Structure 1
Amino acid sequence: MTNGKGWGSYLLVLAGAAIGLGAIAVGLPAWAGSLVVAGSLLLGAVLRLIVPDGGESLLAVRRRRTDAVTYGVLGCVLAVVAASVAVQWMTGR
């Protein structure tokens, strides 16, 4: 922390995304890894809302509400797409 910004929430979201992409890389179905990445984005939205000012660190790009809505919408869209692919994969279509 050379500039006084907290890295905790940023690294938590980054680790979740890396785990999801790593799961895809090692051979798990793409929908499973995508659900992990979607969960990471949704976690980022929640963290952006609850971490007090000055503590949100590198998750802050715009205003708090704009960031949370952006992370939340991206996470929800990715989760819906991954879930629809999972249903098709499980039913064999």
Structure 2
Amino acid sequence: MPVKQLIIQYKTKVKKMANGREYIDFKKTLDRKDTPLKPHEHTYYNSDLFPSIIRRAALKAQNNRAWCYVDELPAGISLDATGFLAVVTITC
């Protein structure tokens, strides 16, 4: 079975600091609904381990940080801030 790349997507609000720089808070609890994968596309999808697998992958992509400036996003993270809520996409 071909292995699909893990993609995590969720919405968050872009916030401003007192100095005017924008930042986002990363989501702390991730679940199956935060990934577009289907049960047949990942071996552990229906396992109780799957939420911890995606949390660990997200933390690795976020460099173990809880927030980040919008202009300094890590390499595997993209942000679409065209709407009221920004869509964060983490590619692991």
Q: TM-score, normalised by structure 2?
A: 0.27
Q: Who wins on radius of gyration, i.e. which is larger?
A: 1
| Bigger fraction of residues in strand | 2
Could you say which structure has the greater relative contact order, defined with CA pairs below 8 angstroms and 6 or more residues apart? 2
TM-score, normalised via structure 1 length: 0.27
